[in-house]
Amino acid sequence: MDQNEDKQWRMVWYDWLIFLLPSLFFISLGLESALGSPLRPDGTQYQDFRAIAHWFDPVFFQYNLVMSLLVVMVVPSLALSYTLIMTDRKERRLQHEVPAERRGEIRRRMGRRASFGEYRGSVWLTTTVVMLGVSILLLFKPVSSPGGMGVDFSLGANMLTMGPFAELYGKNPDSYYSHLIRNQIAFQFGFLGAYVYFIGSVVRAYFTLDLTSLTFVDGAIRMIVASILALVLSFAFDLALPEELISAPAASDTRGGDSIKSSSTIEPKSDTPASTARAGEDAQGNSKRHPNEIESTIPAGLSMLPVVAFFFGFYPKRASLAIERVALKVMKNIMSEGSYRALPLSMLAGMSYSHELRLEREGFDNIENLSSADAVDLAVRTYFSYGQLKQWIDQAWLAAHLREDYPDFVRRTGIGSSDELQRFLSTCDGAKVDGVEQLVAGLSADPTASASWKLRLTALKILLNIGPAPGKDCRNLAETGHEPG
């Protein structure tokens, strides 16, 4: 039995339910749409999920089912493929990068990550969230009156979707339904934006050998949070666009049986040809509209709601980061001068925004945390190479000790990591040159600042446990930041 077959046998029987249950759900709806009847034997409509199969045209509905199944199956399929194929490639790459004395540790750590069981809980969670979201997006059909086929929101909606506008129920059905539609649009497109971002991140993690259970958990949380935040955002559109979205034709009041006329229907206010045309009248003043037709107006700015909600779901981290930065600026004057602030990862060379997000997912959200990380452990858990992580950790160690002076130190000396500083000082000791004095001379000409730099660099030399390394000259090293020759 080869290694891939062994991995397949590590999947217990209930792991396959994650593929089977969603498939059975969508297939049963497809069969109900193709072969079932929209009515019960007693002539009444179904009151369960079987009713969904008869809300749409059968061909259109079955097409939506195929799309829904593909959207849901992407999650467990990528997890299974990664454990069977890509984990072996990652282990072989790390075996070439990591020092020989730690290669046994690589094999042991990767063995635990090469099983589908490592992803079981996170994949179940993400698949469930995706299945619920895509069902709302593609399968649920909202209607405003009991006579239609779909989700009958004329019976009422929950407080999450309506908020303070729930009081419109029974008082102004047109306005009530208008707010409900806006909130649903924001919720659905917020989920869609988060899902598109999630798929992109999963595919990227797959091909960069970085697909972990945290990737799926992060995606599930992103879809939940983005959908809710987009829903909250829709209330701001109600404030900015108070005009009502009216559905045509007019809904009937089930309590009285009379047609409810929209409060936002625009009546012609002049006898000009343009207003007459808008009112649907001919030159003799006779109405050309159908008796049940009413005029409806949709605010032009409302078309931006799906776009804003989508990008809010696609970039929730950046949106929250912008809000956080604004809040920090407002609170800056409140914070004391002597308060301690963590250093951002962006101070390190080669650290991009996506790299920061990936390290934050592993719990390293600032330089102080990263300075104590284990490069081998992070190389197993992420897609970064061992050499890159070792460089970042060494840079973080030096930055954590120099703090806000670190960028200026790197710019003036060309030394960016603890390893480079250690080599510099060791080489200077071997050449019987005071490396600290060389650095201080290149950093500052002010006596007070020089004394401070000398004290800090001497402390760093002691912490690095510098020993003599004979045979190299470093007289010009402080000026160039590179070893001669």
**Per-residue pLDDT tens digits for 317-374:** 666 666 666 666 666 655 544 455 788 888 888 888 888 888 888 888 889 899 888 8
**181 and 87 share a domain?**
yes
**Residue 122 counted as domain residue:** yes
The span from the CA of 378 to the CA of 217, in Å, is: 18
Of 240, 255, 271, which residue constitutes the final position of a domain? 240
Which tokens in the block code for residue 382? 């992420």
> Which of 240, 259, 282 is the last residue before a domain boundary?
240
Percent of the chain surpassing pLDDT 90 = 11
Q: Does residue 274 fall inside a structural domain?
A: no
Task: Tell me which H or E stretch contains 213.
Answer: helix 213-240
Cα(259)–Cα(294) distance, integer angstroms: 11
Assess if residue 289 is contained within a domain: no
Q: Which of 227-231, 270-274, 289-293 has the highest mean pLDDT?
A: 227-231
Final residue of a structural domain among 240, 257, 274: 240
Cβ distance 233 to 308 under 8 Å?
yes
Check: pTM over 0.95? Answer yes or no. no
pLDDT of residue 152 exceeding 90, the answer is no
Whether residue 202 sits in one domain with residue 61 = yes
Are residues 76 and 127 in contact, defined by beta-carbon separation less than 8 angstroms?
yes
Q: What average pLDDT does the chain have?
A: 76
Q: What is the spatial distance between Cα 120 and Cα 80, in angstroms, rounded to a whole number?
A: 10
Residues 217 and 344 in one domain: no
| pLDDT over threshold 70, residue 56 | yes
Q: What is the pLDDT of residue 327?
A: 66
Residues 233 and 321 reside in one and the same domain:
no
Residue 121, in any domain of the structure: yes
Instruction: Verify that 181 and 85 share a domain, yes or no.
Output: yes
Domain for residue 283, yes or no?
A: no
Question: Same domain, yes or no, for 322 and 235?
Answer: no
Q: Is the pLDDT of residue 178 over 90?
A: no
- 194 occurs within a structural domain: yes
232 and 339 in a single domain? The answer is no
Where do the H-state alpha helices sit in 266-374?
Answer: 273-278, 304-314, 316-331, 353-361, 367-370
Determine the 3-state secondary structure of 180 from DSSP.
Answer: helix
Residues 200 and 347 in one domain: no
Is the predicted pLDDT of residue 397 greater than 70, yes or no?
A: yes
pLDDT at 471: 43
pLDDT of 468 reads 46
**How confident is residue 181, by pLDDT bands cut at 50, 70 and 90?**
confident
Residue 266 has pLDDT above 60, yes or no: no
Domain range enclosing 68: 3-240
Structural domain count, the chain: 2
The mean pLDDT of 284-292, rounded to a whole number, is 44
Mark whether 141 and 232 lie in a shared domain: yes
Residues 189 and 328 reside in one and the same domain: no
Tokens of 121: 């809980």
User: Residue 456: what pLDDT?
Assistant: 87
Question: In terms of domains, do 183 and 52 share one?
Answer: yes
Clarify whether residues 336 and 215 are in a common domain. Answer: no
Position 105 in a domain: yes
Domain assignment present for 246? no
Cα separation of 26 and 171, whole Å?
39
